[in-house]
Amino acid sequence: MVFTNLLGGMLMRYRVGDLIEIVAKQDDEIGVNIPKMSFYSRADDLIDIGTLARFTETTIWQAIDGSKVKYVEWTARKEADNGEVILHLYLELKESEKQPLNKITSKIRKKLHKVCPEFSDMEALLGNNKLEVTILPSNAFNNYIEAQRQAGADLAHIKPPHMQPNDNVIKRLLEKNKV
């Protein structure tokens, strides 16, 4: 099934960036025999690891939040590591978070396995190495936001995206205390 919007003229089209899930063949509640759809995610906000596991902003957030790791903010993207595709999570921790990186990674991995069973299956099949966590310097997100404000960025581009930030955004988040 392909959905498009017809806008701007007789033959001008663009593809809708929403992913939907068909949840029923019909809607008995209102008595129609057309598929019942539910919004799943934006296509550009989906991280697909090896076509086996798909992460939305919500699933990643649920895993981080469920891990009870004390964090300020996060961003995540798909990266290649020695030819292997991984989920790379960048976390700014609260000052009160004192756990070592390996324990933080383990807790988040465990929660990712719960919220995305396909990820658990993939790691069982291909090895337990599809998640990398990098701890960002303190105030990384505040420094980024302040630099964007000083540069006169549009309000919509002041915060880094949670999903699939580009190399420049990651580089700026990794810089220590630069505004």
Task: Check residue 26 and report its DSSP letter.
Answer: S
Separation of alpha carbons 43 and 177, rounded Å: 34
Mean pLDDT of the chain: 85
Domain membership of residue 79 (yes or no) is yes
Q: What are phi and psi of 157, to 5 degrees?
A: -115, 20
Question: Is residue 13 over pLDDT 50?
Answer: no
Residues 25, 53 within the same domain: no
Considering the domain architecture, whether residues 81 and 130 belong to the same structural domain is answered as yes
Distance CA 109, CA 114 (A): 9
Tell me, what's the pLDDT at 100? 97
Q: Mark whether 139 and 101 lie in a shared domain.
A: yes
Q: What is the pLDDT of residue 178?
A: 60
Give the residue from 4, 93, 104, 112 showing the smallest Cα distance to 53: 112
% of the chain at pLDDT higher than 90: 57
Predicted confidence (pLDDT) at residue 166 exceeds the cutoff of 90:
yes
**Tens-place pLDDT, residues 38-95:** 766 566 678 888 778 889 999 999 999 999 999 999 999 999 988 888 999 999 999 9
Check pLDDT > 70 for residue 10: no
Q: Is the pLDDT of residue 142 over 80?
A: yes
Residue scoring higher pLDDT (155 or 41): 155
Both 100 and 142 in a single domain? yes
Residues 119, 75: Cα–Cα separation, whole Å: 18
User: For residue 46, what pLDDT is reported?
Assistant: 81
Residue 66 belongs to domain with CATH number: 3.30.300
Please count the CA atoms within 13 angstroms of the CA of 157 that sit on its side-chain side: 9
58 and 33 together in one domain: no
- Is residue 117 domain-shared with residue 137, that is, in the same domain? yes
pLDDT-derived band of residue 32, with 50, 70 and 90 as boundaries? confident
- Site of tokens 């929403």: 18
Based on the fold, state whether residues 65 and 152 are members of the same structural domain.
yes
Residues 32 and 51 in one domain: no
pLDDT at position 14: 45
Domain that holds residue 66: 47-174
- The share of the chain scoring above pLDDT 70, in percent, equals 84
Distance between CA atoms of residues 21 and 41, nearest Å: 9
Cβ contact 29:69 at 8 Å: no
Tell whether the model's pLDDT for residue 4 goes beyond 60: no
Which pLDDT score is estimated for 63? 97
Count structural domains, the chain.
Answer: 2
In order of 35, 117, 163, the CA distances from 159 in angstroms are 37, 30, 12
